[in-house]
Structure 1
Amino acid sequence: MREVTFKEALAVWIRIGFLSFGGPAGQIALMHQIIVDEKKWLDEPRFLHALNYCMLLPGPEAQQLATYVGWLLHGVKGGVVAGVLFILPGAIAIFALSWLYVSLGDVAVVEGVFFGLKAAVLAIVVQAMIRIGRRALKGKLMLALAVAGFMALFVFGLPFPLVVLSAAIIGYTAARRTTTPGSTQSEPASSTEPVVRVGTRRAALVCLLLWLLTLGGLLVLLGPDNVFSQIAVFFSKMATVTFGGAYAVLAYVAQQGVENFGWLQPGEMLEGLGLAETTPGPLILVTQFVGFLAAYREAGIEPSLLYASLGACLTLWVTFLPCFLWIFAGAPYVEKLRANKALSAALAAVTAVVVGVIANLALWFAVNALFTEHFRITTFGMDMSLPVPQSVDLAMAVLSAVAFILVFRLRMGVLSLLGILATLGALWVFWTAWV
């Protein structure tokens, strides 16, 4: 690892922040291209080493990878700068688009654009499920975990954290049982020595205290029923269980935000995801849109852009502050964690069940986007929502078919897909208004 000046690194992190489109796969590929191939700051094993550690953590792995590499290069200062700059461009864009959404949402062209984005997002989510499935579902156990994850969420409505934790325990236990006495459990000691950066433990403690003070302060000052307290508690919980990236947790966020808190409508979650897909940064920034709408509508007063802005900022704070905590708390010992075969097996199991989670997300989105009426089944321990076939939205079905053709037949990129579908949606709304 060669010496890199902080000024040189700063310019690269700004560049990555503005170019980080395409979800975690595209973002990780971008960082690999710049950091490993172009700049040669890290070699391939070191980069993959860091990536494997970040995959073990809850939260957006690409943002945490940037934080880790920044920490590796310039300590705590480098980690904070790299992590913040990875988020900042997309956060500003989502913030501006959220303002436009609530300010101009009744305008036909805006409604049409978001109508088209829903169809595009359906295709994108299915594509993500297939890509992850091809990498993760190797062997009967992994396939069984994926199916079990889908059934647990869609059919029985079990809590998302419980599903993820159960998968991790199964993977860890299976690895321990298949390990024979005397087998190698770790890599050579020379490759597992902790990396030391001054102030890292102190930084982890500061992140933890800020997180706890935010939660405790809001609960004490505003009470548990206030929307800001609810945002802080809910997204803090989410920050601890978001294994597998944004797609894996969006079903959990959407179902809770729509069905439990009533912060937004099912279609609005799709629209928010469409906004996040059009902007740089991690897709989990869609939570900023959710927090914006939650505070806008539920603050106990008339809809307020000031309250909405505070809700969006609070959501960002409690969602991403833990990401820095995980990196600063564990990065010095990443080699030891990576060498542990049982932990690696637990990660593989979580990745497998994530495929089932994404399948649940895709089906939940499809049911709510393509059909206007639904009925619920709550017998024999089941708790699932199914569509009324006669309530199908034909226009949405046609746009979704176009989106799937563009994605799977023509292999169109995300930005081009969203642009075309947004245009088609706007044209559809104008045409229906004309006739």
Structure 2
Amino acid sequence: MRHFAIVGSGPAGFYTAEALAKAYGDSARIDIIDRLPVPYGLIRFGVAPDHQSIKKVAIRYDKVAEADNVRFLGNVSIGDAVTVAELRQLYDAVVMATGAPNDRQLGLEGEDLPGVMGSAAFVGWYNGHPDHATHEPPLDGTHAVVIGAGNVALDVARILSKTLGELEGSDIVAHAYEALERSRVADITILARRGPHQIAMTPKELSELGQLEIACPVVDEADFPPQSADDDLEDRGLAKSVALLRGYAAEDCDKDKAIRFDFFARPVRIEGEGRVERVIVERTRLDPDGRARGTGEEYVLSASLVISCIGYSSPPIEGVPYDHRGGRFANEDGVIGDGLYAVGWARRGPTGTIGTNRPDGYEVAGQIEAAMPAGSDGGKAGGEGLDALLDSRDVLATCFDDWRKIEAAEEAAARAGSPREKMVSTSEMLRLLGHK
């Protein structure tokens, strides 16, 4: 028998568990461990609440968790309840699938002012992540600045721009739903260091901005290279995104809210008396190598709210070598060390889509199988050993049946048209389960 522990229950963790379960069958036991009482990670807390079709991938993960040789153990914090070193003693292989939940810092003067948030915090706030549910983003001002040129920046701008009617059918949590109802934000600027040809925004997400009820995108035609340059774009998805932006540039915005794309612009300082009031921005130009360089020309953007969407990093964990520059665990093709692996964003950094994690997880599972062929026995204690250790430390782990109870309670509490009303605190979830 082989025993495997996967730390993290997001897409990367579940795809790895799926691959290991297929490779080993009944000759392996797989534990998926998460510090929160509930599974799914990015699916539950990162995917935008108005993108319900994407969240349906969790149905596939359900089948993995319900397999006889797979367990979900929630409410188990690595480093507190159990260390990685202890897991390595108990399991034949430990796979780090923790994702990248921490915001990367801007490194700018003033980024610690009230009203400046990272996207992990803001997205976690409207998605009900227990770490961020108590935030109170200042929505009493009219100007928001979103820093970044990827899909997360689009998600943030879109959620800030939607009416409550447009949020029907979503699972945005009640506190965010109510706060957005009172929001006065009417002007949103998306700052991008480079130009339209260098964005990381996909056509689907960009097209949604053109379908908003009371908001519309504003793009300056002067930011584009000659039309002929579009023909040289090898990435067809990027070409479609650029075409959408050109279309927006050709239209007038006559709605109540504007989402302004400010290309060739980078923030250099954030200012305000006691709270954020403005962002000092420098114009940029592209070097021949495609890098953005400052021109020295600065201007001021009013801002009552600033949300940084510049990327994420995995938190360092004792006992796991760390790549500080990359914000991920140090690894070679997913291998950290003997019996220790990394998948997903913990391996690659915050790149790729949810689907990218499937081949990633299967690749690492293949490496594990090559090192520990099916039918071999490592003589490790596995889950039984972990259960005994957690019991000795009075750690109450949740199981997949517990998650089903939480899920049922959330569905029962949903407002009309919404699939669920998420519980937003760990203590609330544990109380439901009868845990103190």
Structure with the higher fraction of residues in helix conformation: 1
TM over 0.5: no
Larger Rg: 2
- Work out which structure has the larger RCO, using CA pairs closer than 8 Å and 6 or more positions apart in sequence: 1
Q: Give TM-score, length-normalised by structure 1.
A: 0.25
Q: Give TM-score, length-normalised by structure 2.
A: 0.25
